[in-house]
Structure 1
Amino acid sequence: MAEKVHKYLIPWDFTIVAENALKHAVNLSKLITDPVSIELLYVIQTGGLFNKSKYSKTEASEMLHDDKKRISEEYGIEVKTHILEGNLFNTISEFASESEAELVIMGTHGIKGVQKLTGSWALKVIAGSEVPFLVVQEEPKKDKVFSHIVMPVEFRDEDKEKINWGIRYAKLFNSKLHIIIPNAFDSGVQQKINNNLAFAKRNIEAHGLEWEIHNSSKGKSFQEEVVNLAVDIEADLIIVMTTPNIDLTDFVFGAQEQYIIANKARIPVLCVNPGTLGI
């Protein structure tokens, strides 16, 4: 049987945030015994609102060549590089799927910026992707990553799939899962939350993983409580699932997960989409 290769794709724009994403990829690769392939993708934008790329294909090719050499010398790894033309919001996720990437690791500029992706911009790139996106705002703070994972669990059926994603990454990185639940506004919603918690307990414990349940406080937004918990327990990662059937209104005014993706604590966020995993 062929040895499994974990492929990490990094949207590359020659900025410090892209370098931060690379550092996260290098850290993750150290935690996995199987081979890891780290690949950089520069997109020459040919469509959408921001359709002018900063560098031409020739310039980008030369810069990628230089970065590939520098990365080899600085990090001791060999990366593959790609240049594609297309709409930034589609090309990254489409290439990730076509190349069978396991994870896209994308750097953002926090609350401001465009490619420079953040907030609704990052969400637009992520939405609909078959491949999970790990969104990072700064370089890793320590070599040991993902030791504590925070995962909000609500009342949607899709939360069960998010729980399966959490199990996958907790197993891969030997993490403890911290599930936080909202305050239910009626008994029907509470029952749905309880059903999802029962699903979580059954499946997490079947895999022998360590986990804990946390209740959110009243009077604050659930998204704020999720980030606060991650800060309090010094979590390395938050897992969110994007809003099903996301539309223009969500991009303009902000889906609920947008606050978490661009959290001010700068905690990495793993974004998964509904219908992309079954364990």
Structure 2
Amino acid sequence: MDIMKKILVPVDFSEHSEYALHVAAIIAKQHNAGIVLLHMIGMSDSVLANSEIAEEAEAKYYLNLAKDKIKQYTEKEYLKGISLEAIIQNYKDFEEVNNVAEEKNCDLVVMGSHGTSGISELFVGSNTEKVVRTSNVPVIVIKKPHQDFTIKKMVMATDFANKSVSAYIKADTFAKLFNASLEVVYVNTTGANFIGYDIVDKRLKAFKKELGKDVNINFYSSPSVERGILKYCQEKNADLLVIPTHGRKGLAHFVVGSLAENVSNHAQMPVMTIKM
């Protein structure tokens, strides 16, 4: 991917989806890309199929409401000059977002999230997690408003799992698009889950061999992987955290599962997930 052509933005008309839309607009202007807005109504098939006057009126009401709201979104001042396409679908399953992204040849999905308590709660059990888990297109998750969105430093967390090389290559492609640096971090947990240097070194050599070039890997020790990733990003003043995902089998082991109690760092920074 030499250029970015289209960005898909799923919207539910919440403030968080507008945060995502604003960021998508900034990226679109930086790369002369278009934006595809997607809203999912989620009405039951029985309502849509029912010819009763009340149900038909209800279906029309929600469809017209969605049309009015999405029209208001397309008229945002920050979207001026951007090629826009608005889609309203009666999807109830957020896995459908991937289908739209592929049908419309989108290079990136940008969406908002209400999560506030760290990486795990950012994804697990949310609609965002469903999109992240099933999207073949990289997803950037936005959690707060950004007046500016300049990516200068990207950090990719890896556990050297199978196919993590493909995730690195995609991350490196985006880093070049954003004119950003890309750092790779491996977090080794202290305590009972500590992995010996010999094992880690073996994984690292296999990673570099498959990649076909030498890449500097930063090692960071922390009581938990989640906390280590966030703390490393904080210390390095990263603008974007990249996390590889394992597709339908769920996210990488350092994303799925409960966080240690009282995680002190919050993933307020943007997170890009890339399917391996």
Residue of structure 2 equivalent to 1:182: 187
Deviations 1:42-99 (A, max 9, x none): 001146xxxxx9x811110111122222x1x344234221100122322211111111
Q: % of aligned pairs identical?
A: 23
Residue of structure 2 equivalent to 1:215: 219
Q: Indicate how the Cα distance of structure 1 residues 140 and 198 shifts in structure 2: closer, same or farther if over 3 A, else same.
A: farther
One-letter amino acid of the structure 2 residue matched with residue 214 of structure 1: N
Residue of structure 1 equivalent to 2:26: 27
Which 5+ residue runs of structure 1 have no aligned equivalent?
Answer: 48-52, 205-211, 275-279
How far residue 118 of structure 1 moved from its aligned partner, in angstroms, is: 4.4
How far residue 4 of structure 1 moved from its aligned partner, in angstroms, is: 6.1
1:111–1:118 CA contact under 8 A, matched in 2: no
Residue of structure 2 equivalent to 1:123: 129
Q: Indicate how the Cα distance of structure 1 residues 41 and 27 shifts in structure 2: closer, same or farther if over 3 A, else same.
A: same
What is the root-mean-square deviation in Å for CA atoms of aligned residues? 3.2
Work out which of the residue numbers 43, 46, 70 in structure 2 matches 1:64: 70
**Aligned residue runs from structure 1 range 30-45, under 5 A:** 30-32=29-31, 35-45=32-42
Work out which of the residue numbers 132, 154, 160 in structure 1 matches 2:159: 154
SS at match of 1:100: coil
How far residue 142 of structure 1 moved from its aligned partner, in angstroms, is: 3.0
2:152–2:180 CA contact under 8 A, matched in 1: yes
How far residue 111 of structure 1 moved from its aligned partner, in angstroms, is: 3.6
Residue of structure 2 equivalent to 1:269: 271
Q: Indicate how the Cα distance of structure 1 residues 200 and 176 shifts in structure 2: closer, same or farther if over 3 A, else same.
A: farther
SS at match of 1:89: coil
Q: Indicate how the Cα distance of structure 1 residues 93 and 203 shifts in structure 2: closer, same or farther if over 3 A, else same.
A: farther
How far residue 7 of structure 1 moved from its aligned partner, in angstroms, is: 0.4
Distance 2:15 2:68 in 1: 18
Q: Indicate how the Cα distance of structure 1 residues 138 and 200 shifts in structure 2: closer, same or farther if over 3 A, else same.
A: farther
1:238–1:269 CA contact under 8 A, matched in 2: yes
**Aligned residue runs from structure 1 range 3-152, under 5 A:** 6-32=5-31, 35-46=32-43, 56-69=62-75, 71=76, 73-78=77-82, 79-111=84-116, 118-121=123-126, 122-140=128-146, 142-143=148-149, 145-152=150-157
Distance 1:11 1:167 in 2: 25
One-letter amino acid of the structure 1 residue matched with residue 21 of structure 2: L
2:155–2:182 CA contact under 8 A, matched in 1: yes
2:155–2:240 CA contact under 8 A, matched in 1: yes
* TM-score normalised over the length of structure 2: 0.77
SS at match of 1:239: strand
Q: Indicate how the Cα distance of structure 1 residues 151 and 173 shifts in structure 2: closer, same or farther if over 3 A, else same.
A: same
One-letter amino acid of the structure 2 residue matched with residue 14 of structure 1: F
Q: Indicate how the Cα distance of structure 1 residues 67 and 89 shifts in structure 2: closer, same or farther if over 3 A, else same.
A: closer
Of stretches 11-20 and 22-31 in structure 1, the one that deviates more from structure 2 is: 22-31
Greater than 3 Å deviation, 4+ residue runs: 197-201
Distance 2:178 2:201 in 1: 31
* TM-score normalised over the length of structure 1: 0.76
One-letter amino acid of the structure 2 residue matched with residue 236 of structure 1: D
Which 5+ residue runs of structure 2 have no aligned equivalent?
Answer: 45-58, 189-193
Of stretches 153-162 and 189-198 in structure 1, the one that deviates more from structure 2 is: 189-198
- Number of aligned residue pairs: give it: 245
Deviations 1:131-170 (A, max 9, x none): 1111110122534x22100111223121101110121011
